[in-house]
Amino acid sequence: MAQLEITNVSKSYGAVNVLKNINLEISSGEFVVFVGPSGCGKSTLLRMISGLEDIGTGQIRLNGQVVNAVDPARRGVAMVFQSYALYPHMTAFENMAFSLMIAKEKKARIKEKVERAANILRLEHLLQRRPGELSGGQKQRVAIGRAIVREPKVFLFDEPLSNLDTELRVQMRAELIQLHDKLKTTMIYVTHDQVEAMTLADKMVVMHGGVIQQCGRPLDLYDDPANKFVAGFIGSPRMNFMDADVARVESDHITLAVTGALKQFDLPFRGFDSSLRKVQVGIRTEYVGLSEDADSAVSLPATVAFVEELGDVTYMHTDLPNGERLVVRSNGGRYRGGKECVAQLDTTGILLFDEAGERIRSAS
Amino acid sequence: MTAEAITAYSNPARAVALPFSGWALLKWITAACIAIVAVFPIWWMVNVVFAEPGTPVSLNPRLYPTSFSAGISKILMIMQETDYMKAYYVSVAYSLLTIAGVLIIGSMAAFEFALFEFPGKRILFATVMLSLMVPTAVTIIPTYLLTASLGWLNTMQGLVVPGLASAFGLFMLIQFMKTIPRDMIEAARLDGASHFQLYRYIALPLSKNALVTLAILTFMKTWGNFMWPLIVAPSPELYTVGQVVGLFNSPYSHQTVDIVMTANLLAALPPLLFFLIFQRKIVEGIAMSGSKG
């Protein structure tokens, strides 16, 4: 049974619809990541689960009980904020003990719980320090500790790592995975960083314009995106997109004429809607390489715009004759200058989208 | 090592870093003049009190205290032979009760105004701010009539209560509390804090600096308030220090200048001490660094 059920939830501020008919089920112990660009409504959804934001319409159920009207403190959720939101006048210990003190727990019990959380987060030696005396990473750990001592049913994280530098972010990411393994509590995490989402999530929920675009396991979304937005949002560098005309439709393949390509090529495809004349071809950089053979069916002459050499991999950002950008990946190759090149597409990696951006899937 | 050698080792750049500047000198002289003008009256007061009568203004005047014992005997005389101690008690009670009231009422109101939305908030706030623009001379008579009709003439509550609603204090505290991050209030809400606990455990401690500043300003204002005690508590039972000092200064007072000065010095001492004690508190403060960074 789902621990958290979000049913037909919508939210608007005046005329602006921030969330539109959200439906989502989250199982107990899952690590769910809401990911999407700024303004997509992911933080609002998290705040609605926490109770800090009123639910416009729809229902949120936690362990089968509707929590729409339940006070935030009584929902059994704990939240870690982007700004950490530690109380600056209290020590780390007092910050972590605050909720227990409010709940009038016995002092010995408070001490025991805080020390246990501090032990999990390796914070024992910092308990008497105030937030002003802690580094960014330490503050974040105290904020997580404050959530742990409440022993919540669901942890909510609102972009908790975005204020940390890259190295610390990677380290904290690993610590969060370990923490989830240790506590086995449901965690809902909001981020705009798709790499963070891919590495942390059991289930990834991609949002855009207040709508859930797709949810599922990170690699399922990577390999089999439901639409052009998800395909473009997940993966770095983003997927290449090119316009193509459908030249011929057969029962087991179609013939495509990619704008800028020298020749038409066949793509295995069953059940193609023959009324569609124009499609968008999506292909990830790992399926685009350089070729010596300019005569191949899937070769595209291109001009190198700039090159990103990362050591193990080189990304060549090229411009096609029609002005579209195509990123070519070269494993371990070194760029030796030169402007003109021929990009070659591996058709096994081609995904098709209609003009509205929805995925066109081959019938199995 | 010779002096020349030492000179040779000194950093020439450092010598250049402190050039003689006429403008800087002028600024220092101006600052010193202002300081002398500000401090001289107080110093003169101390000088007159701690001297045999007439010494500071004799043909050969002294600009420094010459007799500590004379000063002490004058202070003892005032304490023992007049109702000065009682006035001290009244003034201290009047000031402390006003401070406590202003801080409690002001901080509670500011907490709501700064951190929450409620119907009519803007109009209420505008009304409070408008009262800042009405001079005391306009409000003092209606306030007096109201206090009189409540039967509070010659009572401590008559002195204190009308001064508790401080529009200035409210404005100051609102500005300060607006800087408390919303996340922090929400974190406390999630931690289970009630509305009052948010105020008690989060807003109040975080506004400590503003509260101390407001306490000092309220003390200065209340201790030096002459008009309101004069009209609302004319009974000698409730004379404040200001009124008693006024009596010493009155045209038919038979006190000599040095006694009057002693009364003045005793009246000026508490605000001076209050400021010196709490000035450090303002600077100390608490680091508002619970947020990112």
Measured distance CA(B283)–CA(A10) in Å, rounded:
49
Share of chain B residues as helix, strand and coil, in percent rounded to the nearest 5: 75, 0, 25
Predicted confidence at residue B197, as pLDDT, reads: 96
Predicted confidence at residue A274, as pLDDT, reads: 85
Give Cβ neighbours of residue A45 (< 8 Å, ≥ 6 apart): A6, A9, A19, A22, A34, A207
Task: Tell me how crowded residue A284 is: count the other CB atoms within 10 A of its CB.
Answer: 21
Q: Please tell me the least confidently modeled range out of A186-195, A206-215, B6-15, B140-149.
A: B6-15
Residue after which a domain boundary falls, among B36, B56, B80? B80
Q: Please tell me the least confidently modeled range out of A13-27, A328-342, B257-271.
A: A328-342
Measured distance CA(B210)–CA(A88) in Å, rounded:
16
Stretch B127-145: mean pLDDT? 89
Residue of B nearest to A51 (CA): B190
Predicted confidence at residue B26, as pLDDT, reads: 93
pLDDT at B287 over 60: no
3-state secondary structure of A27: strand
Q: Provide DSSP, B10-73.
A: S-HHHHHHS---HHHHHHHHHHHHHHHHHHHHHHHHHHHHTS-TTGGGSSS--SS---HHHHHH
Express each pLDDT in A2-30 by its tens digit.
689 999 999 999 888 999 999 999 999 99
Q: Provide DSSP, B252-273.
A: T----HHHHHHHHHHHHHHHHH
Measured distance CA(A108)–CA(A155) in Å, rounded:
25
CATH number of residue B114's parent domain? 1.10.3720.10
Predicted confidence at residue B251, as pLDDT, reads: 77
Residue after which a domain boundary falls, among B80, B103, B132? B80
Q: What is the mean pLDDT of chain B?
A: 84
Stretch A39-63: mean pLDDT? 93
Chain B contact for A50, CB < 8 A?
A: yes
Identify residues of B whose CB sits under 8 angstroms from chain A CBs: 181, 183-184, 186-194, 197, 201-202, 205-206, 208, 286-293
Measured distance CA(A329)–CA(A317) in Å, rounded:
9
pLDDT at B97 over 90: yes
Measured distance CA(A198)–CA(A234) in Å, rounded:
8
Measured distance CA(A224)–CA(A336) in Å, rounded:
35
Chain B interface disruption, residue of A46, A74, A87, most B CBs within 10 A: A87
Burial class (CB in 10 A: 0-12, 13-18, 19+), A310: exposed
Bridge-based pairing state of the strands A186-191 and A154-158: parallel
Task: Tell me how crowded residue A235 is: count the other CB atoms within 10 A of its CB.
Answer: 18
Measured distance CA(A285)–CA(A305) in Å, rounded:
16
- Judge contact between B47 and B63, C-beta under 8 A: yes
Predicted confidence at residue B110, as pLDDT, reads: 95
Predicted confidence at residue B280, as pLDDT, reads: 67
- Give the residue numbers spanning the domain of B74: 3-80
CA distances from A101 to A84, A117, A156, B128, B242 (A): 20, 16, 21, 36, 47
Minimal CA separation from B88 to chain A, in Å: 36
Residues B61 and B103 in one domain: no
Task: Using a pLDDT cut of 70, give the percent of chain A over it.
Answer: 97
pTM of the predicted model as reported, rounded to 2 decimal places: 0.81
Share of chain A residues as helix, strand and coil, in percent rounded to the nearest 5: 25, 35, 35
Structurally, chain B folds into a number of domains equal to 2
Residues 120-139 of A with CB under 8 A from B: 130-132, 136, 139
Predicted confidence at residue B270, as pLDDT, reads: 87
Predicted confidence at residue A143, as pLDDT, reads: 94
Cβ contact A98–B188 (<8 Å): yes
Give Cβ neighbours of residue A252 (< 8 Å, ≥ 6 apart): A268, A269, A270
Residues B67 and B183 in one domain: no
Minimal CA separation from A80 to chain B, in Å: 8
CA dihedral A8→A14→A18→A20, nearest 10 degrees, is: 30
Cβ contact B190–A77 (<8 Å): yes
Residues B10 and B61 in one domain: yes
Residues B75 and B86 in one domain: no
Stretch A143-152: mean pLDDT? 92
Residue of B nearest to A91 (CA): B290
Residues B136 and B238 in one domain: yes
Predicted confidence at residue B1, as pLDDT, reads: 40
Residues B122 and B136 in one domain: yes
Express each pLDDT in A64-94 by its tens digit.
999 999 999 999 999 999 999 999 999 999 9
Residues B75 and B107 in one domain: no
Residues B126 and B256 in one domain: yes
Predicted confidence at residue B6, as pLDDT, reads: 42
Express each pLDDT in A167-192 by its tens digit.
888 988 998 999 999 989 999 999 99
Residues B17 and B115 in one domain: no
Residues B142 and B229 in one domain: yes
Measured distance CA(A246)–CA(A249) in Å, rounded:
7
Query: What are the helix and strand counts (H, E) for chain A?
Result: 8, 21
From the list B162, B171, B57, B65, the residue with the least C-alpha distance to B110 is B171
Residues B70 and B91 in one domain: no
Residues B47 and B145 in one domain: no
Query: What separation, in Å, do the N-terminal and C-terminal C-alpha atoms of chain A show?
Result: 31
Residue after which a domain boundary falls, among B80, B97, B121? B80
How far is residue A364 CA from its own chain's centroid? 28
Measured distance CA(A217)–CA(A32) in Å, rounded:
9
Comparison of pLDDT for B201 and B293, the residue scoring more: B201
**pLDDT band at residue A47, thresholds of 50, 70 and 90?**
very high
From the list A361, A307, A362, A311, the residue with the least C-alpha distance to A336 is A307
Stretch B54-65: mean pLDDT? 74
